[in-house]
Amino acid sequence: MNRIDSLFQDLRSGGASGGGKALMPYITAGDPSVEATGRMLVAAQDAGASICELGIPFSDPVADGPVIEASMTYALEHGVTVGGVFDMVARLRPSLSIGLVAMVSYSIVHRIGLMKFISDAKDAGFDGFIFPDLALEESGQAREESAKAGLILSMLIAPTTPDDRAEQIARACTGFVYVVSRAGITGERAELPPELPARLKRLRSVTDLPMTVGFGISTAEHVRQVVAVADAAIVGSGMMRRVAEVRSQGEDQTVKMVGDYTRELAGGLVSA
């Protein structure tokens, strides 16, 4: 069984902490360095993360707001490469029990070649992918090849996605369904949209996959609100904004911050 499927199955059966719900922090690979990224993954795991989204930097990211875009720019300017990220994950994977999902533009996948990218990602230790710019109509081969490799592939469902199309995307996902909480780009928000529970209920009627929610989540209270109606909360901009604020203090301090912030967010799972 794929590690993502196993993790959610374990959570649903009560075999893990967090009240049966998951915290999924996002980390940009290479910010502040690839080595530090590996240490940040360990810190997030030790602090209560179940799955980490590892963003592979791209010069023209889709849907990402200024915080994550700046993080990717920093990583690219400091020499991050796809191969370097894969090598780091391969070295680290034996010490990690969390799920690892690559958030990556399909432009990168296409340039490398779908089959090679999937094979290399699997060999490195990734459990699946999110391709934010891959349309449902063009995703058939990627979904098929990912499934053959035993990896999951999730796609984004936005608030503006028509109901019938949202249901088609949900049925096409594997591992989990990525539900975008609000329209627009990534970024921290003061509160979550009131219509979110109804959207999740509608999607649950067409798939048994876990529902994960991202965009705008940055506090333990946000996490608590999300996991009251969903299976996992995704935190991206909140994490990378804090990385940007402390990276000048050195990698040790950055890694410590990731652990502290993840632990703070995980408090929302306990109180859910």
Which residues are part of the catalytic machinery?
A: 53, 64
CA 54, CA 77: separation in Å to the nearest integer? 18
19 and 223 Cβ atoms separated by less than 8 Å: no
CA 262, CA 126: separation in Å to the nearest integer? 21
Q: How far is CA 224 from CA 9, 219, 227, in A?
A: 20, 9, 5
Query: Following CA atoms 202, 208, 213, 214 in sequence, which dihedral angle do they give, to the nearest 10 degrees?
Result: -120
Burial of 197 (0-12, 13-18, 19+ CB in 10 A): middle
At a CB cut-off of 8 Å and minimum separation 6, what does 271 contact? 220, 224
CA 24, CA 28: separation in Å to the nearest integer? 13
Phi, psi of 3 (to 5 degrees): -60, -35
DSSP E strand stretches across the chain: 22-28, 51-55, 99-103, 128-130, 152-154, 156-157, 177-180, 211-214, 232-235
